[in-house]
Amino acid sequence: MSDTINEFFKNYFAEYQKLAFVESVYPTIAAFGQLAIDIRNSGKKMMFGGNGASASVAEHGAVDFTKQGKVRGMTFHDPNLMTCFANDFGYDHWLAKAVEHHGDEGDAVVLISVSGESPSVVNAARYAKSRGMKVVAFTGRKPTNPLATLADISFHVPSDAYNVVENVHGIWLTSAIDWVIGKAVYETRAYEL
C-alpha cells in the first residue's frame, strides 16, 4: 500500500476515534436510553425524522428501537406521505405536520440533521416543543445550531464532514438501543429458517 493511501485512511479513521468514542457522550447516550425506557413504560412512542442520509439513520433507529428495544418507533419517510405533506404544507413544514398528525401527548421526537439548520427538521422540533414533547437532536457542524438549542437531549459531533457525522450519529443511536437492551450481542430472529 502506498504511503499516500495509508496516510489518508490513518487520518480518516483517527477522526472517528476522536469524535465517536469519547467518554463525555456516555451520559447523553444513557439519558437517551432512559427516555426510551420511560416512553416504553408509559406506552408512548418515539417519532424519528431527518433528510437524506439522516433519514436513513432515523429509520434504522426507529426499527431497532421497536424490534430490539420494545420501544414503539416510527418514521415519516414514506414517499406518499412526504410528497403529499410537502405539496400541501411546503417542504419546510412537512415533518412538523407529520408530527402534528401522528404525535400524542407524552411522545418524543428524535431529529437528525448534520447542519442542525434544515428548516423541515427545525420546524418539527419547534412544533414538538410547543406540544410538550421531548426532543432528541443529533447534529454536527456548529454546536449552537437551531436544532441543538431546541433539544432536551442533544448529541453533537464537532465536524463538518457529512459522512463522518452521519456515521457517528448511527454509532451513538445504536449504542443507546443496546444500552436499553443491556447487551450488544443478541439474537435478532425469533425463529429458525
Domain residue spans of the chain: 23-181
Average pLDDT, the chain: 95
pLDDT of residue 188: 76
Spatial separation of the C-alpha atoms in residues 175 and 181, rounded to whole Å: 10
Please compute the mean of the pLDDT values over residues 40-48 and round it to a whole number.
98
The stretch 164-182 carries a mean pLDDT of 97
Instruction: Tell me what pLDDT residue 187 has.
Output: 79
Q: What is the pTM of this model?
A: 0.94
143 pLDDT above the threshold of 90: yes
Mean pLDDT of 96-106: 97
Cα–Cα distance measured from residue 48 to residue 112, given in angstroms and rounded to the nearest whole number:
8
The mean per-residue pLDDT over the stretch 99-122 comes to 98
Q: How many residues does the chain have?
A: 193
C-alpha cell at 27: 451520559
Per-residue model confidence (pLDDT) at position 192: 57
pLDDT at 70: 96
φ, ψ (nearest 5 deg) of residue 18: -70, -35
Rounded to whole angstroms, the Cα distance separating 117 from 166 reads 15
Q: How confident is the model at residue 190 (pLDDT cuts 50, 70, 90)?
A: low
CATH 3.30.1180.20 fits 23-181, yes or no: no
Task: Give the DSSP letter of residue 149.
Answer: H
Quote the percentage of the chain above a pLDDT of 70: 97
Is the pLDDT confidence value at 72 over 60? Answer: yes
Q: What is the mean pLDDT of residues 95-112?
A: 98
Which position has the higher pLDDT, 193 or 152?
Answer: 152
